[in-house]
Chain A
Amino acid sequence: MPPLESSTAEPDAAAVEAGLDALDTPVRPADKKSGWRRFVRSVLPPVAFLVLVIVIWQALWAAAFWPEYQLPAPIAVWRELWSQFTNGDAFGFVWTSVHRAVLGFLIAIVIATPLGLLVAKVKLVRAGIGPFLSGLQSLPSVAWVPAAVLWFGVEPAAMYVVLLLGSVPSIANGLVAGIDQIPPILPRVGKVLGAGRLAAARHILLPAALPGYLAGLKQGWAFSWRSLMAAEIIASSPLLGKGLGAYLDDGRFLNDMSTVIAAIFLILLVGVGIELLVFRPLERAVLRARGLSGAL
């Protein structure tokens, strides 16, 4: 055995460190699955399920299990949809509802964000408002429709009130949850790095709470959309324009199940479309940047 001392020359400290860095750096699993395979794995299953549902539907209709006015043929619903699209009415319904939902949702963000910050950071506000905010979240916003109509008449203002009462609590609660889940070390670090209250909110609190906030936004959007549909179904008036909810109510009024199902389909389509086109990519980008992309 060679003597223990000075058997080898001491390697340069920088070289040792560089070697350690290379060895210890987390190895990222190769994320090189082809786009085609990702497509097959994520799109095929829901499409297959949809096909299955339609097949069962067709079979039930063919068996004449229920009368036609309760269960129309899939092709009858398709024809209704197609005619609404070809004569352009469907775009009108969707636009009336979606522009109102988006506008209301944006107003909800503007109201809910400072509200959530206040509830999360000011003890007295949390003690006072917090329980009501959580309670409001579990109150179906349809319950506000009669009140809103009595206060504002059957006008767009009533729609917005119902929508805001539905979505503001979700967004604010999401932000509160996001802030509550921030590791306590981060605000401390902010303080020793010299951040005042405002700078800490802007540079540390809000970005750290972003995943929770985003979850709240997602839920807030869902609640906005639901509340608006409920309000449109219950309160209809020429002043409001004809949205998807009113179109759905037409179906009930005319005893036309094809219209009802077509309207439900369109309402679902908008909900799922916004989720997939807006929230899913946003959430993905935020989580991936933080190395939390496991779930998506």
Chain B
Amino acid sequence: MTATLGRPGVEPATGRAVRLSGVHKTFGQGDDAVTALAGVDLDVAPGEFVCLLGASGCGKTTLLNLIANLDRPTAGDIELTTSRPAVMFQEAALMPWLTAAANVELPLKLAGVGRAERKTRTGELLELVRLSGAGAKRPHELSGGMRQRVALARALASATHTENGEERPSLLLMDEPFSALDAITRDVLQAELMRIWEATGSAVVFVTHDVREAVRLGQRVVLLSSRPGRVVQQWRVDGLAGQDEVNAVDVINRRLREVISSHAAA
């Protein structure tokens, strides 16, 4: 086991992109109420890559929706010091009536960016996801992996513009973005995401239920318990390779299984 592995706490990072303190989320009211999240505390540093890991029903998607401001916490605070987060879902959810390029352009249009600048920015982003040649195609003419890359470019377009002329750190929220893809495509897109993360310096919160994926991509893995979701344990997995990476996957996997089997008794 590596020295950084298995430590319950992780030293506070310098600066903060996201801070969640005591976040609760309950759906419904009265007897039917379901508590999805019960007191989640989490900090993400600018440029940090954090993977949220957990079994079904651990509220990881709920947590992401709260950070993305798609939903409000029942209690607790969420502070973002970043620009509007770029969000990617499990499905690409491209607008089927727009071409790939027009999909990437949409958030720029919504933000009131001028036409010439929109074209340039769209070109750059398509280049970044290696789809320069596919800008004129419609979503149904693209493969699953290509659609997901267009979705990534579109998400980045919604985030990277500056607000009030002030440059703010960017934040990318991803909800199991590769889980619907075949294994080869997933592997390639994971590498692609690492390249883009390094190129943009964006902080990433990546939700997954795949331990291997979490360890491969993340600098830090945060394990959530299920019903209600809480942070169980965190591991720093930055720069692990070879046997260390295999060990880390083993350790985290074992802990995840413990958390899941504790539900069988209840």
A residues apposed to B, CB below 8 Å = 13-14, 16-18, 20-21, 23-26, 28, 183, 185-186, 188-189, 191-195, 199, 203-204, 207-208, 210, 286, 289-291
Contacts and interface: CB of A to CB of B under 8 A. Distances in A.
Contact of B110 (A14, A16, A199): A199
A194 B145 contact: no
B111 A25 contact: no
Contacts of A185: 89, 91, 93
A16 B185 CA distance: 10
Could you say which interface size class chain B belongs to?
A: 35 or more
B185 to A, nearest CB: 6
Contact of A291 (B89, B141, B155): B141
Contacts of A194: 84, 107, 110-111, 158
Contacts of A21: 131, 134, 143, 145-146
Interface in B141-173: 141-146, 154-155, 158
B106 interface: yes
Interface in B96-136: 96-98, 106-107, 109-111, 130-131, 134
B143 A24 contact: yes
Contacts, number: 93
A51 B51 CA distance: 70
A27 to B, nearest CB: 10
A188 B97 contact: no
Nearest to B143: A24
B112 to A, nearest CB: 10
Nearest to A183: B93
A208 B97 contact: yes
A207 B97 CA distance: 7
Contacts of A18: 130
Of A13, A16, A26, A189, the most chain B CB neighbours within 10 A belong to A189
A26 B141 contact: yes
Given A21-B146, A25-B146, A291-B140, A192 B95 contact: no
B223 interface: no
Contacts of B218: none
A21 B130 CA distance: 10
Given A20-B188, A26-B143, A186 B93 contact: yes
Contacts of B188: 13, 16-17, 20
A192 B158 contact: yes
B185 A189 contact: no
B142 A193 contact: no
Contact of B138 (A183, A199, A207, A289): A289
Given A26-B140, A193-B110, A291-B141, A207 B184 contact: no
Closest 3 CB pairs of A and B: A291-B140, A24-B143, A192-B87
B158 A193 contact: yes
A13 B191 contact: yes
B138 A290 contact: yes
B85 interface: yes
Contact of A17 (B84, B130, B142): B130
A192 B185 CA distance: 26
B151 to A, nearest CB: 9
Contacts of B192: 13, 17
B113 to A, nearest CB: 11
Of A192, A195, A204, A289, the most chain B CB neighbours within 10 A belong to A192
B143 A25 contact: yes
B255 interface: no
Given A21-B145, A195-B110, 17 more contacts: A16-B188, A17-B145, A18-B130, A20-B145, A26-B143, A28-B141, A186-B95, A192-B155, A193-B110, A194-B107, A204-B95, A208-B95, A208-B97, A290-B97, A291-B138, A291-B139, A291-B141
B195 A13 contact: yes
A9 B144 CA distance: 27
Nearest to A199: B110
22 contacts: A13-B188, A13-B191, A14-B130, A18-B130, A20-B143, A21-B134, A21-B143, A24-B143, A25-B142, A26-B140, A26-B141, A26-B142, A185-B89, A186-B95, A189-B93, A192-B69, A203-B109, A208-B95, A290-B96, A291-B96, A291-B138, A291-B139
A17 B86 CA distance: 23
B68 interface: yes
A203 B184 CA distance: 35
